[in-house]
Amino acid sequence: MEKVNLQGVRLFAPASIANISCGFDVLGLCLENIGDYMEIRRSEKAGIHITSIKGQDLPLEAKKNVAGVAGLALLEAHNPQLGFEISIEKNIKPGSGIGSSAASAAGTVAGINYLLGSPYTNKQLIPFAMEGERLACGTAHADNVAPTLMGGFTLVRDTNPLDVCALPTPLELTATVIHPKIEVKTADARAVLKKRVTLQTAIQQWANVGALVSSLYEEDYELLSRSLVDEIVEPIRSILIPHFSKLKKACSDAGALGSGISGSGPSVFALSKGMTTANKVANAMHEVYAKTDIPYDIYVSPVKSTGVSFLEDLS
């Protein structure tokens, strides 16, 4: 039932890691303590109206903003006569590789859905959020918006029709992410990829994806470690990320289970068993980039079991 007594909601839209090495456009996970804050309010004027964006210079026009496009897609399906205002505190830099556009798109549709009385499940909201991704990079992919909405690990089996699976998360699994403050646009990162791969390479990649999924169900950290190998995308995209090979070696030496490019980059992630190791990996990442003139941020985060979080009802 629609929450007509509420004028709005304040929410947290988490960041995410997509691809998880071998799972290009298929696998993703939700991060616990990195993300954007948003307020969604009712408006007497139909449509989506972005009133403010703090932290980043992004367009306020709804049709030019991923939040606006996602929100409009939801209203088109549900009731185009409704109106909502959106304000965003943008903590995830666009082009960072940790799901900036996905957070804005997912937060918008989740907030509107909440005020409507949740007529859609989180999974049913994914296609609307994907329209924001289409604006951002030209492809309506789901590997970031799915975990941002559903939480935990997700696997996108297909997008037409949409078929998304929730996967379990090993209890101690922790992510470390370094974000070099250079921009790698998703569209550019896709443009460098090869259109064909050899059968042998494809077989190895399928095997890694299958083993990684099995490792999540079995909480088999050793198998997970052996599976975090990308035979197809990482060898090409890594040239776009300064000191990538040094980062990977440093993460391994510090005890990480594995590491790789987060989304389309430039962020690099590492997965570890336990917070202690994850913090050691963070220190190792710091040691690599402290010797360069590239500014960077480092995050350590558990995997968030739920997606978008509703923080406060606004009357």
Partner residues linked to 309 by β-bridges: 12
Q: Active site includes 133?
A: yes
**Which of 267, 263, 271 shows the shortest CA–CA distance to 212?**
271
Q: Active site includes 186?
A: yes
Which H/E stretch holds residue 8?
strand 8-18
| 282 and 298 Cβ atoms separated by less than 8 Å | yes
Partner residues linked to 156 by β-bridges: 164
218 is written with which tokens?
Answer: 């079995």
C-alpha–C-alpha distance, residues 105 and 67, integer Å: 4
| 267 and 182 Cβ atoms separated by less than 8 Å | no
Q: Which of 133, 174, 231, 234 is catalytic?
A: 133
**Which of 277, 281, 290 shows the shortest CA–CA distance to 243?**
290
The single residue listed with the structure tokens 């992004």 is 58
CA atoms within 13 A of residue 50's CA, in its CB half-sphere: 26
| 9 and 39 Cβ atoms separated by less than 8 Å | yes
**Which of 311, 48, 292, 297 shows the shortest CA–CA distance to 178?**
297
**DSSP assignment string, 35-95:** EEEEEEEE-SSSEEEEEEEESS----SGGGSHHHHHHHHHHHHH-TT-EEEEEEE--SPTT
Q: Which of 148, 174, 176, 186 is catalytic?
A: 186
Task: Write out the catalytic residue numbers.
Answer: 133, 186
